[in-house]
Homo-oligomer: A and B are copies of this chain.
Amino acid sequence: MTAQPISPAERAARARDVFGHLPPHIDAAVLFDDQFIQYYSGFSFMPTERPIALVVVRGGERHLFVPRLEREHAEQTGEAEVILDYAEYPGRVHPMRQLADYLAQQGLESAQLAIDHDGYPSVMGYHGPTLSESLRTATIHRRPDAFDHQMSLKSEAEVRLIEESIVWGTQAHHLLQRYTRVGESEHTVEARASKEATEAMTQALGPSYRGQNRWLSGAVALYRGQIGPASALPHATTTGARFQAGDTLVTGAGAAVWGYLSELERTMVMGEPSPEQQRYFQHMLNLQDIAFAAVRAGVTAASVDQAVQAYFAQEGLQAYWRHHVGHSLGQRIHESPFLDIGDERVLEAGMVLTIEPGLYVPGLGGFRHSDTILVTATGMKCLTDYPRDLESLIIPAS
């Protein structure tokens, strides 16, 4: 059976349980981040200039505050106990004023409020006061870390959705690998692989399937410009390159399944790998093995990065280091904690993380695999199932 969406009961429990992650004096949580709103209410939407907020009062009752434009959408797909709307932004009365008035009506005028963000972020030309400025009598506590921590502990239902995402990301990646050929363009190969994998996925998951993910749509596999020497830029963003013999390639693949995603990345080589490519590829595998071995519940996120950085130092590879070992993920493409030397949070069973240490060699390319793993009491379970060895990742160049 394919994975099912998160149940309304599970989302309601999240809203009740959030107070277990907050200090005991907090009366309500006020959330402006679309990903937290989706996490607690199931409402998945496109953030625009029109603020949307979710108020969760102690006990778990959810009040969803939306523009008129989104009312029916929220009613049909959200799971809040109360939905209220305002006309428009900026409108005759600023939405933040209306939200503050509503909070006061609900008896929260002088409450202790935990927030993710002080007001709505101005990502699309929105301008407005912070919540602190709009409701001066309340005490505002900025606690994004608390909401992030709850979100980082995946339930069985969440892990099943991530595994379903992996199934289709894997299929997209197999197609990407199959269609990649010398002279082809990046976009054409990506579009073909992603289209076919998405069609297979929507066929398998049936008409009720929804992606509901802000970062991915359907099942996708891509290069994002990480082709040849440009693969030495870990976050390259081009789309027009053509494949040539000798290229080092770095891929990415995943799928959106009921709000959840996954990450699969592989380093591939066009044609017979050079000794240099072989050497850095092997170092990359060694780094990933070190990280796999270092992960388990009870250790700090920092300790995993320390183990990996020790190998960089020991092998004299520091010039090729660019980033930490990995990140949590699930709804967001990056979530916290981070496998970073400065992140002292303790890994817990149920966290889902990427393991993706990389080496970047100017002029030659990048070397990075990314696997999605589940932290367990004794170590980890690798959820990704895709060949890691160089032999399997050579694209014939002739």
Interface residues of chain A, those whose CB is within 8 Å of chain B, are: 33, 44-46, 48-49, 67-70, 72-73, 76, 88-94, 116-118, 121-127, 144-145, 148, 185, 187-188, 191-192, 194-195, 198-199, 202, 207, 209-212, 217-218, 232-240, 242, 321-324, 327-328, 332-338, 340-343, 362
Partner among B49, B94, B199, B207 whose Cβ is within 8 Å of the Cβ of A334: B49
A188→B362 CA distance, assembly (Å): 39
Nearest residue (CB) in B for A126 is: B336
A90→B94 CA distance, assembly (Å): 36
A191 cross-chain contacts in B, Cβ below 8 A: 191, 194-195, 198
Partner among B69, B116, B237, B341 whose Cβ is within 8 Å of the Cβ of A88: B341
Seed contacts A127-B336, A210-B238; 9 additional CB < 8 Å A-B pairs: A44-B237, A69-B235, A89-B342, A90-B343, A124-B336, A125-B334, A127-B145, A195-B195, A210-B240
Shortest 4 CB-CB contacts between residues of A and residues of B: A125-B336, A90-B342, A191-B195, A124-B334
Is B235's CB under 8 angstroms from A46's CB?
yes
Nearest residue (CB) in B for A302 is: B90
Nearest residue (CB) in B for A68 is: B322
Would you give the shortest CB distance from A178 to chain B, in whole angstroms?
Answer: 17
Partner among B88, B118, B123, B235 whose Cβ is within 8 Å of the Cβ of A340: B88
Nearest residue (CB) in B for A217 is: B239
A70 cross-chain contacts in B, Cβ below 8 A: 235
A336→B90 CA distance, assembly (Å): 10
Is B341's CB under 8 angstroms from A125's CB?
no
Would you give the shortest CB distance from A175 to chain B, in whole angstroms?
Answer: 13
A117→B33 CA distance, assembly (Å): 15
Partner among B33, B237, B327, B341 whose Cβ is within 8 Å of the Cβ of A91: B341
Is B341's CB under 8 angstroms from A67's CB?
no
Is A323's CB under 8 angstroms from B144's CB?
no
A69→B334 CA distance, assembly (Å): 15
Would you give the shortest CB distance from A183 to chain B, in whole angstroms?
Answer: 13
24 contacts between A and B (CB under 8 A): A44-B237, A45-B235, A49-B334, A49-B338, A68-B322, A69-B235, A72-B232, A72-B233, A88-B341, A89-B342, A90-B338, A92-B342, A117-B121, A124-B334, A125-B148, A125-B332, A126-B336, A127-B145, A187-B195, A187-B202, A187-B218, A191-B195, A207-B240, A210-B238
Is B88's CB under 8 angstroms from A324's CB?
yes
A201→B343 CA distance, assembly (Å): 44
A237 cross-chain contacts in B, Cβ below 8 A: 44-46, 210-212
Would you give the shortest CB distance from A287 to chain B, in whole angstroms?
Answer: 15
Asked, given contacts A69-B235, A232-B72, A323-B67, whether A334 binds B48 with beta carbons under 8 Å apart, the answer is yes
A91 cross-chain contacts in B, Cβ below 8 A: 340-342
Would you give the shortest CB distance from A97 to chain B, in whole angstroms?
Answer: 11
Nearest residue (CB) in B for A233 is: B73
A336 cross-chain contacts in B, Cβ below 8 A: 49, 124-127
Asked, given contacts A89-B340, A237-B45, whether A188 binds B199 with beta carbons under 8 Å apart, the answer is yes
Is B187's CB under 8 angstroms from A198's CB?
yes
Would you give the shortest CB distance from A149 to chain B, in whole angstroms?
Answer: 10
Would you give the shortest CB distance from A362 to chain B, in whole angstroms?
Answer: 7
A123 cross-chain contacts in B, Cβ below 8 A: 33, 121, 332
Is A124's CB under 8 angstroms from B188's CB?
no
Nearest residue (CB) in B for A48 is: B334
Nearest residue (CB) in B for A256 is: B239
Partner among B33, B73, B323 whose Cβ is within 8 Å of the Cβ of A235: B73
A238→B33 CA distance, assembly (Å): 21
